[in-house]
Structure 1
Amino acid sequence: MKLGVGLPVSGSWATPDRILPIAVRAEELGYDSLWTFQRLLAPEGLADQYRSVLDPLLPLAFVAAQTWRIRLGVAVVNLPFLSPVILAKQLATLDVLSGGRVDAGIGTGWQPEEFTATGASLGERGARVAEYVSVLRTLWTEKWPEHSGRFYEVPRAEFEPKPVQARVPVLLGGTAPAALRRAGRIADGWISSSSATQQDVAPMIRLIRQGAEEVGRDPETMRFICRCAVRVREPGRADRRPLTGSFAEIRGDVERLAEQGMTELFLDLNFDPRIGSPDADPQVSMRVAEELLDAFSPLRD
Structure 2
Amino acid sequence: MRIGFAVPSSGSWATPDNMKRVARRAEELGYSGVWTFQRLLYPVGHPMGPVYRSVQDPVVTLSYLAGVTERIRLGVAVLNLPFFSPALLAKQLATLQIVSGGRLDAGLGLGWIPEEFTATGVAMERRGKRAEEYVELLRRLWTEDVVEHKGEFYEVPPVHQDPRPETPPPILLGGAATVALRRAGRISDGWISSSRADLSKIDEQIYIVKEAAREAGRDPSGLRFVVRGVTRPGTAAGGPLSGPYEKIQEDVEALAAKGVTEVFHDFNFNPEIGDPAADPRDSMRRAEEALERLAPAS
TM-score for both structures, normalised by structure 2: 0.97
**Which AA in structure 2 matches 1:94?**
L
State the alpha-carbon separation in 2 of the partners of residues 3 and 267 from structure 1. 8
Question: What is the aligned counterpart of 1:158 among 157, 160, 165?
Answer: 160
- Report the counterpart of residue 13 of structure 1 in structure 2: 13
- Report the counterpart of residue 30 of structure 1 in structure 2: 30
- Report the counterpart of residue 53 of structure 1 in structure 2: 55
Q: 1:101-135 CA distances to partner (integer Å, 9 max, x unpaired)? A: 11111100111111111112110001111110000
- Report the counterpart of residue 231 of structure 1 in structure 2: 232
Question: How far 1:298 moved relative to its partner?
Answer: 1.5
Aligned residues of 1:275 and 1:285 also touching (Cα < 8 A): yes
Aligned residues of 1:138 and 1:146 also touching (Cα < 8 A): no
State the alpha-carbon separation in 1 of the partners of residues 78 and 200 from structure 2. 20
**Which AA in structure 2 matches 1:265?**
V
Please give the secondary structure, in 1, of the residue aligned with 2:213: helix
1:98-247 map, 5 Å: 98-165=100-167, 167-234=168-235, 237=236, 239-247=237-245
State the alpha-carbon separation in 2 of the partners of residues 34 and 84 from structure 1. 25
The answer to whether the aligner puts 1:41 opposite 2:41 as a matched pair is yes
- Report the counterpart of residue 264 of structure 2 in structure 1: 266
**Which AA in structure 1 matches 2:263?**
L
**Which AA in structure 1 matches 2:228?**
R
Structure 1, gaps ≥5 residues long: none
Aligned residues of 1:183 and 1:190 also touching (Cα < 8 A): yes
Question: How far 1:198 moved relative to its partner?
Answer: 4.5
The answer to whether the aligner puts 1:2 opposite 2:2 as a matched pair is yes
TM-score for both structures, normalised by structure 1: 0.96
Amino-acid identity (%): 55
Question: How far 1:199 moved relative to its partner?
Answer: 4.3
State the alpha-carbon separation in 1 of the partners of residues 129 and 72 from structure 2. 33
| Count of aligned positions | 296
State the alpha-carbon separation in 2 of the partners of residues 22 and 219 from structure 1. 33
Aligned residues of 1:6 and 1:266 also touching (Cα < 8 A): yes
Please give the secondary structure, in 1, of the residue aligned with 2:76: strand
- Report the counterpart of residue 93 of structure 1 in structure 2: 95
Aligned residues of 1:194 and 1:227 also touching (Cα < 8 A): yes
RMSD: 1.1
Aligned residues of 1:242 and 1:250 also touching (Cα < 8 A): yes
**Which AA in structure 1 matches 2:258?**
Q
Q: 1:24-70 CA distances to partner (integer Å, 9 max, x unpaired)? A: 00000000111110001122233111010000111101010111111
- Report the counterpart of residue 284 of structure 1 in structure 2: 282
Structure 2, gaps ≥5 residues long: none
State the alpha-carbon separation in 2 of the partners of residues 243 and 122 from structure 1. 33
Q: 1:148-199 CA distances to partner (integer Å, 9 max, x unpaired)? A: 111111111110111132x320000011111111111100000000111444
Aligned residues of 1:198 and 1:241 also touching (Cα < 8 A): no
State the alpha-carbon separation in 1 of the partners of residues 234 and 49 from structure 2. 19
Question: How far 1:243 moved relative to its partner?
Answer: 1.8
**Which AA in structure 2 matches 1:196?**
A
The runs of at least 4 aligned residues of structure 1 exceeding 3 Å deviation read none
State the alpha-carbon separation in 1 of the partners of residues 251 and 222 from structure 2. 24
Please give the secondary structure, in 2, of the residue aligned with 1:196: coil
